[in-house]
Amino acid sequence: MFLKPFRVKRQNTLKGSDKKKIKNDIGKLYRIEENVLSELFPAKGDMSVAKVELHSGEIANIYSCQKNPIFFEINKKWFPSVYALWKAPEMLPVFTTWPPVFTKLAVGADLMLPGVVVSGQVHMGTFRGIKKGDIASIKLVGNRSPMAVGETLLSGEDMYLSAMKGKGVKPLHMMGDLLWEMGDQSVPPFLKDDLDIDVEDSDEEGETSKVKKSTEINSQSAGLSMETLSIDNDNNETEGATANISQSEEESEESSEEEEDPKEAMDELLNYCCLCALKGKMKKSDLPLSTGIFFKNFLQPYCPEDKYIDIKKSSYKKLSKFLQTIEAKGILKVKTLSKGMDSIVEFDKTHEELKDLEVPEIVIPTSTSSNEDEFQSPTIADVFCIPANLLYFFKPRKYSKGQGITADEVRQGLTDYVKTNDLQLSEDKSLIKLDPILAEIVLRKTECDVVTMKWDLAKARLFEKMQPGFQITFPGKPPIIKKGKIDPIKIDVVQRMGNKKVTLIDNVETFGIDPDKFAHLIQVKRACSTTVSPSIQKNKGLQILAQGNQVDFIRQLLIEKYKLPLRFVEGLEKGSNKKKKKR
């Protein structure tokens, strides 16, 4: 539920009386002891509520205390967050699973019953008291601290009768999702788990279970990587989040460490390009230099052709944090010269890291201009599709059912039919006689006695019977005809958490534009983060998300590079450029 971005509609601080009421309601609902309630709702801590709209369209209220979300309410149903469950782990019924299973839950999968770990044999009383739709938590073997919270999809009796097959719990919130990121992003405390897992049921099955248990526990560190959850593996508190690590598990850790970490690779690329820019291109006369301009015009040109720089995929996440590490080495110095804008004011070319650095020559990418010439915009024309009841009328012109024809061809078809059948009045050429075929097409039910009609009205009535559509013709390809109106490229600017704005672009595929290349072009030209993901609406293709308000740049891009008429673009009025009023 919180794996996809959500929009904060309103946020405000609660009064003391409201906080006290919520505290009492939660205590009665979950039967929490007073000392635990006081820890969840500290007397001196501020409590706030945020009203958010989820990607599914549902409205949720998120209640936070001391900046950590502790409960959220959806459809008048209260759910605790993992932050609250770490302080009260016995608050909900608990399902135990293996660490590799949790990696599947972290990408949106449901907890399947075969992945549930129980002590001893499963019997009728194993899940006693659990009803369908109950709120339950999910923990890992070896630690009682819950990692997720969700709703049960079966009752306890049905779980037993299904022979532990099928879906068991639908996770709604878990460690590592966007709701968890709203808090301090702490890791679960280690609470020793006394769960006794019996794997020796029979000779044959016992051996299989032993192998399975050993394999899964030994793959904990590889399967449940904290990088997936944006957590530091080196934190000692995470040692209890999984079961005890055996010697074979340590060997698997060593082998996994040998593989290249994408964050480390991005960090090395950033550091290399920054040092090359400082030694090879930057001059004292360029100072003071905005950090944004330094990244775009100085750092990025040194990136190899087969790679690209994305700060969001590094461990720094922000350019300012990366430059702080370079500043700590004494290579450069950054100051805030104006509000909200950092600038490089000093740099040392004699630094040890720059002395032996071999700076490659910057290759001016000529492929960009050639790529612009490579794209040929499609030809888009409004057409009218021939329905089945008008096929006999257009048959002499050898048109087929569903074929798209232009407005001129429709008019010419009517003209040819009138001339062929000599239906134009000689005394008044603005009128045409209506034979039975033409009368059936252009007359309405209340016009049975009409025998003549003006040309313009007959043409208008004929167009009413046609099905409007559009035809897209890409160079070197057969034309594509679709019924209905063409969906334009839709651009929207929405506000996310922290008063940040993002630009959403839909329907670029309709006009032959590659979403990945389009997003990468925005990322490179505007030095902003972009993502491409399936649209929330079904069968609407891919949606591009770009950080910040990029409407003006997208307008320029569609006009200059893609040669697209602006009548096929919606949302251009949301650009940031506003004409200043003359005084």
Residues 69-98, mean pLDDT to the nearest whole number: 92
In a domain, 407, yes or no: yes
Task: Give me the pLDDT at residue 137, please.
Answer: 94
Q: Which residues, including other chains, have CB under 8 Å from residue 103's CB and lie 6 or more apart?
A: 223, 224, 225, 228
Residues 223-241, mean pLDDT to the nearest whole number: 40
Name which residue leads in pLDDT, 149 or 414.
149
Instruction: Please check whether residues 224 and 303 belong to one and the same domain.
Output: no
Q: Give percent above pLDDT 90 in the chain.
A: 22
- Residue 62 — pLDDT band, cuts 50, 70, 90? very high
pLDDT for 219 beyond 50: no
Residues in the chain: 583
pLDDT for 80 beyond 90: yes
- Residue 49 — pLDDT band, cuts 50, 70, 90? very high
* CATH code (residue 26): 3.10.450.120
Task: Give me the pLDDT at residue 567, please.
Answer: 84
In a domain, 255, yes or no: no
Task: Give me the pLDDT at residue 146, please.
Answer: 93
Picking from 462, 483, 504, the residue at the C-terminal end of a domain is 483
Query: What HEC string does 77-106 produce?
Result: EEEECHHHHHHCCCCCCEEEECHHHHHHHC
In a domain, 93, yes or no: no
Instruction: Please check whether residues 215 and 272 belong to one and the same domain.
Output: no
Measured on CA atoms in the order 32, 35, 36, 39, is the torsion positive or negative?
Answer: positive
Give tens-digit pLDDT for 548-558: 899 999 988 88
- Residue 248 — pLDDT band, cuts 50, 70, 90? very low
Instruction: Please check whether residues 110 and 206 belong to one and the same domain.
Output: yes
Instruction: Please check whether residues 433 and 306 belong to one and the same domain.
Output: no
Q: Give percent above pLDDT 70 in the chain.
A: 84
Instruction: Please check whether residues 133 and 207 belong to one and the same domain.
Output: yes
Instruction: Please check whether residues 27 and 146 belong to one and the same domain.
Output: no
Instruction: Please check whether residues 160 and 228 belong to one and the same domain.
Output: yes
In a domain, 581, yes or no: no
Give tens-digit pLDDT for 178-201: 999 888 888 899 888 776 565 444
Task: Give me the pLDDT at residue 468, please.
Answer: 87
As a whole number of angstroms, the distance between CA 36 and CA 86 comes to 11
Name which residue leads in pLDDT, 307 or 68.
68
In a domain, 251, yes or no: no
pLDDT for 323 beyond 60: yes
pLDDT for 242 beyond 70: no
Instruction: Please check whether residues 360 and 281 belong to one and the same domain.
Output: yes
Give tens-digit pLDDT for 270-283: 999 999 999 988 88
pLDDT for 206 beyond 80: no
Strand-pair partners of 10:
51
Task: Give me the pLDDT at residue 260, please.
Answer: 58
Residues 390-403, mean pLDDT to the nearest whole number: 77
Contact 511, 377 (CB under 8 A): yes
Instruction: Please check whether residues 102 and 235 belong to one and the same domain.
Output: yes
- 12 — phi, psi (to 5°)? -150, 160
Residues 20-42, mean pLDDT to the nearest whole number: 89
| Count of domains observed in the chain | 5
Instruction: Please check whether residues 119 and 169 belong to one and the same domain.
Output: yes
Residues 75-90, mean pLDDT to the nearest whole number: 91
E strands in 26-144: 47-53, 59-65, 68-74, 77-80, 94-97, 111-112, 116-117, 135-140
In a domain, 508, yes or no: yes
* CATH code (residue 153): 2.30.130.10
- Residue 317 — pLDDT band, cuts 50, 70, 90? confident
pLDDT for 477 beyond 60: yes
Instruction: Please check whether residues 296 and 314 belong to one and the same domain.
Output: yes
Task: Give me the pLDDT at residue 322, please.
Answer: 92
- Residue 482 — pLDDT band, cuts 50, 70, 90? confident
> What's the distance, Cα to Cα, between the start and end of the chain in Å?
51
- Residue 147 — pLDDT band, cuts 50, 70, 90? very high
* CATH code (residue 475): 1.10.245.10
Give tens-digit pLDDT for 405-444: 888 888 888 888 888 888 888 888 888 888 888 888 888 8
For the residues of 234-267, what is the DSSP string, one character each? Answer: T-GGGGGGSSPP-HHHHHHHHHHHHSPPHHHHHH
As a dihedral over the C-alpha atoms of residue 319, residue 321, residue 322, residue 323, rounded to 10 degrees, the angle is: 90
Task: Give me the pLDDT at residue 363, please.
Answer: 55
For the chain, the average pLDDT equals 81
Residues 313-330, mean pLDDT to the nearest whole number: 90
Of 217-226, 379-388, 538-547, the one with minimum mean pLDDT is 217-226
- Residue 577 — pLDDT band, cuts 50, 70, 90? low
In a domain, 252, yes or no: no
In a domain, 150, yes or no: yes
Contact 138, 150 (CB under 8 A): yes
pLDDT for 309 beyond 90: no
pLDDT for 210 beyond 70: no
Picking from 336, 364, 392, the residue at the C-terminal end of a domain is 364
Picking from 184, 209, 241, the residue at the C-terminal end of a domain is 241
Residues 512-532, mean pLDDT to the nearest whole number: 89
Q: Which of 52-61, 333-342, 375-384 has the highest mean pLDDT?
A: 52-61
pLDDT for 240 beyond 80: no
* CATH code (residue 523): 3.30.780.10
pTM of the model: 0.40
Instruction: Please check whether residues 527 and 430 belong to one and the same domain.
Output: no
Task: Determine the structural domain holding residue 34 and report its residue range.
Answer: 7-86
- Residue 538 — pLDDT band, cuts 50, 70, 90? low
